Amino acid sequence: MREPWVREIDRRAFLRRLRPILEVYAAAMRPPPEQLPGRHTIMERHASYPRFRALVAERRPAFPGLPGAVRGFAYGFHGERGQWWHDVVHQALERRGGPGHAARWLSDAFEVAELHVHPEAQGQGLGRRLLTGLCEGRPETTVVLSTLDGPEDSPARRLYRSVGLVDLLTDFEFPGGGPRYAVMGGRLPLAPYPDPASSS
């Protein structure tokens, strides 16, 4: 079994891979099938946002020149007013802590829109590699994202906390209903992940 290869791809390569990327999204999130066309449209739109960056984890092909199987992906962009997620979260943070609180987190933020690993490839550190690679060298001062709310010791919450992200909103419902989310944020660069050997 070849270890997945994590690398950055440009907008065009991202759009070319949207079908296998959506397959990973569907396997990881299990949304109703009728939601996938809308998610495809959203991802296309996100690729046009400022300072877009995407990483993909692909299993190395058996023969050079052939495409690899997508095992995970992550992407984000510079958040700005007029973007749906940015505006909704900005309003919620203003209600929670005032305009200054919202500005501290969102005035110069890198927004991680999606980060997913296929269930068959989870537990191998791919999520961490995708997140740290995506945020490495970003010019923004903060990173923000939303993740399904739930147990604080879930794998996703543990990953985000381990690199310095904290809860900004919990039990948060985006307009239109659906599951509850936690909105998390941290300062860039990300905090280094502690070396397990140093604690033994």
Residues recognised as catalytic: 160
Q: Which DSSP state fits 75?
A: E
Q: Which DSSP state fits 179?
A: S
Instruction: Give the pairing type, strands 109-117 and 166-172.
Output: unpaired
100 Cβ contact list (under 8 Å, min separation 6)? none
- The first and second tokens of residue 61, run together, are 């092909």
Question: Rounded to the nearest 10 degrees, how much is the dihedral formed by the CA atoms of 127, 120, 76, 193?
Answer: 0
Contact between residue 146 and residue 183 where contact means Cβ atoms under 8 Å apart:
yes
**Cα 78 from Cα 72, distance rounded (Å):** 21
User: Which one, of 108, 49, 52, 32, lies nearest residue 84 by Cα?
Assistant: 49
HSE, side-chain direction, 13 A CA sphere, residue 147:
24
- The first and second tokens of residue 123, run together, are 């537990």
User: Which one, of 55, 76, 63, 77, lies nearest residue 5 by Cα?
Assistant: 55
